[in-house]
Amino acid sequence: MKVLIADDHALLRDGLKPFVSKVEDAVSILESCDYPSTHEIMATAKPDLVLLDLRMPGMDGTDGVLRLRRAFPEARIVIVTGWVTRSDVIEAMRLGVVGYLPKSLNGTAMLHALRLILCGVPYFPSEVLVADAAPALAAESSQPNERSPLSALTRREYEILTQLVGGASNKEIAKVLGLTEITIKSHLRNVFRKIGATNRTQAVALALREGVKAAVNPPPKSADGATSLYAV
């Protein structure tokens, strides 16, 4: 599988690579830094997935997306950007992109989103698309509203679900919340039963569709003491 990371910041491309490499067993990563090189690589290498920055040189925002879509109508394009506006998201959807990922996503959540996209499930930030999302985001509500399929969850179960969206293992969740792994497994069984999921991937997919954000934990350190670029 070939994935093109099109972004003018080498640090961002390097930060994405470890997670993009995990979307499937064998992934070849291509890179470009502006619109002309992106167009050339898409024409010659025909990547299976394109992670596209809206504001690299030559793109002109969604105008560049339109040009690429006209040139390569079968390409699966995912916008990865630090500039998220409702108008850009809606325009990207209209142009037929398969995902819109804010750069603020941690790496594990981005990996979940990319896997969903490859399974045919588009990913767009729900908080941008919902007209009344701003007040809800400002309030930072810790529980879903009554119309959500997640409304049956207890506060603790919802908290564990946010950890799951962040890609944490049962052991890591237990450590963060000060619980035992057995307790976490018990809570997860209840979460799966209540939301109608049979496994972690289905639970994360539903949570992402409902706008659940990954829990923000202290970032793990690498062997040399540095913090990972996309650590939770």
pLDDT digits (tens, 9 = 90+) for 118-160: 888 888 876 665 543 333 333 334 444 445 677 788 888 888 9
Contact in structure between 166 and 231 (CB atoms under 8 Å): no
155 vs 159: CA distance, rounded Å: 6
CA–CA separation, 230 and 232 (whole Å)? 6
Q: Give the dihedral sign, CA 126/61/68/103.
A: negative
Residues of the chain with confidence (pLDDT) below 70 = 126-148, 215-232
What's the pLDDT score for residue 222? 39
**pLDDT given for residue 216 in this prediction:** 56
Q: What is the pLDDT of residue 228?
A: 36
User: Which residue ranges make up each domain of the chain?
Assistant: 2-129, 141-209
Choosing among 3.40.50.1240, 3.40.50.300, 1.10.3720.10, 3.40.50.2300, the CATH entry for 2-129 is: 3.40.50.2300
Among 135, 149, 169, smallest CA distance to 212 is for: 149
Instruction: Compute CA distances 132 → 84, 207, 212, whole Å.
Output: 16, 19, 16
What's the token pair of residue 100? 């819109």
Contact between 142 and 202 (Cβ < 8 Å): no
Classify 96 in phi/psi space as left (phi over 0), alpha (psi -120 to 50) or beta.
Answer: left
Hey, what CATH class is 141-209 in?
Answer: mainly alpha
At 122, list the tokens: 């588009």
Nearest to 75 by CA among 103, 111, 99: 99
Number of H helices, E strands in the chain: 11, 5
With a CB cutoff of 8 Å and minimum separation 6, the contacts of 137 are: 127
CA distance 86 to 126: 10
Note the pLDDT of residue 7: 93
Question: Model's pTM, two decimal places?
Answer: 0.58
Q: What type of residue sits at position 60? A: D
Token digits of residue 207: 């949570």
DSSP state letter for 220 = P
Contacts of 88 (CB under 8 A, 6+ apart): 54, 61, 62, 79, 81, 100
